[in-house]
Amino acid sequence: MSILSLPDIAGMLIMMGLLLWLRVQYRDSRVDLWMIGLTFILIETVAVAVFRSKAFTQITHVIALDAYVLAGVSFSWATRKDSLPGKLGLPLSIVPAIPLLAIATIYGLDVTSRIPYLYVGGVSLAAGIGYVWLKVRGGLLRRTVLLGIHLGIWAPVVLFAMHGQLRWMVYWGLTGLYLLVAFSFRGVVRRDRIGGLVIVTGFVIWAMCFLLHPVARPLPEWNGVLQEIWNMQKFFVILGMVLVLLEEQTRRLHEEAMHDALTGLPNRRLFEDRLTQALERSRRTGMSAALFVLDLDGFKSVNDTLGHMAGDLVLVSVADALRSKVRGSDTLARFGGDEFSIVVNDLVRSEDCERIKDALRSTVEGIILPSGARDHLTVSIGYALFPNDAQTASSLNETADAKMYEQKSHKRELVSR
């Protein structure tokens, strides 16, 4: 084994160890397939190191090339954004990968005859055209695009084989495969995050390395430069994967901080921000906004009689029922305990508030309580209209709360009589 490859192998192991630690911490199942792909790349790195020492050249050449193909499939499978028809959800890259694996193996064994390459390439070209046109669903445009991708990979492969340009043939196939892998990772690219962009950039650089390899191979002065870039993009990809995990964990923590753990609804912090936005929108459009405050009556008796688990089920049922009645432009939140709040945008008439109030009451009071609880659930609802009842978020809250507690007090008086 060439000693020059040891830092590369050590770096790969360290980065893979970091990724594996993040997998344990964040329980992201995609990392399993990422780790499989990186394991193939590690195998390729070791095989190349042995190849450079002039030992077992044929077998190590085969292992290195096949590892590239298998790694590409593993990386692509982790995204499954572009899948073939069928229950397994096989990645689109599996189409060129299977025959490319055969071609890479034959080439690694130093077979110089064009016949096996032409046979595999020709059959793959014809079979792929038939498969894409007959099996892939999604309309004419999708099939035409996929057919173009397939022809872009395999037509040059067949032409290179016909002219005996075997190195170009193999590395053109690998270029196409890794561009497909880069394309499959487009789903993890987000405007406000860098991880997905780093991954895609790494795979594009990788594809360009394959493309330039036949050019640089006969030029010793460029071999060293290309080799450095070749080593760099591996760490580019791993770094991008680490960043994606950290960014998604940060987003998850932010979501948890802004949402109620039991119901998944926005909590007070997020709701207050949405209420402020609603008032600003109302000032711009000239339309009214309303704040509704709901408090379940006698909910404590459900917890005392049936236990907190039953009480939690009731709260989840209330949240689901209210969620089904709230428009996408409005916001429903749980303020803790048995209190819910709703901000309704774009009201034209103040009379709409009474209609909404009646609809909310019917929705909540129609929920069936667990066996052993009282007959039905009741709710007290107060509301305040902006700008008629109040002009600020805090005063709107105070007005709606006051109306809700006034209604609750009235119910208690009726019960005490």
> pTM of the entire structure?
0.70
pLDDT tens per residue, range 144-188: 888 888 889 899 999 999 999 999 999 999 999 999 888 888 877
pLDDT tens per residue, range 385-412: 888 888 888 888 899 888 888 888 877 7
Q: Angle, to 10 degrees, between the axis of helix 6-26 and the axis of helix 30-52?
A: 170
Is the same domain home to 128 and 212? yes
Residues in the chain with pLDDT < 70? 1-8, 26-28, 80-95, 136, 138, 191-192, 220-228, 230, 348, 370-375, 413-417
Say how far apart CA 182 and CA 75 lie, in whole Å: 9
Q: Which residues contact 235 (CB under 8 A, 6 or more apart)?
A: 11, 15
Say how far apart CA 34 and CA 46 lie, in whole Å: 18
Whether 263 maps to a domain, the answer reads: no
Other Cβ atoms less than 10 A from the Cβ of 218: the count is 9
What are the contacts of 403-407 at 24+ separation with CB within 8 A?
Answer: 403/293, 404/293, 404/294, 404/295, 404/380, 405/380, 406/382, 407/380, 407/381, 407/382
pLDDT tens per residue, range 214-223: 887 777 666 6
So what's the pLDDT on residue 118?
93
Q: From 235, 239, 96, 253, select the one nearest 170 (Cα to Cα).
A: 96
End residue of a domain, out of 232, 258, 284: 258
End residue of a domain, out of 222, 238, 258: 258
Tokens of 303: 């917890």
- In the chain, helix, strand, coil percent, each to 5? 70, 10, 20
| Domains of the chain: total | 2
Catalytic residues: 338
Is the same domain home to 119 and 239? yes
Q: What is the dihedral of CA 307, 312, 315, 320, to 10 degrees?
A: -140
End residue of a domain, out of 236, 258, 280: 258
Per the structure, the complete domain to which residue 45 belongs is given by 3-258
Report whether 75 contacts 32 (CB < 8 A): no
Whether 158 maps to a domain, the answer reads: yes
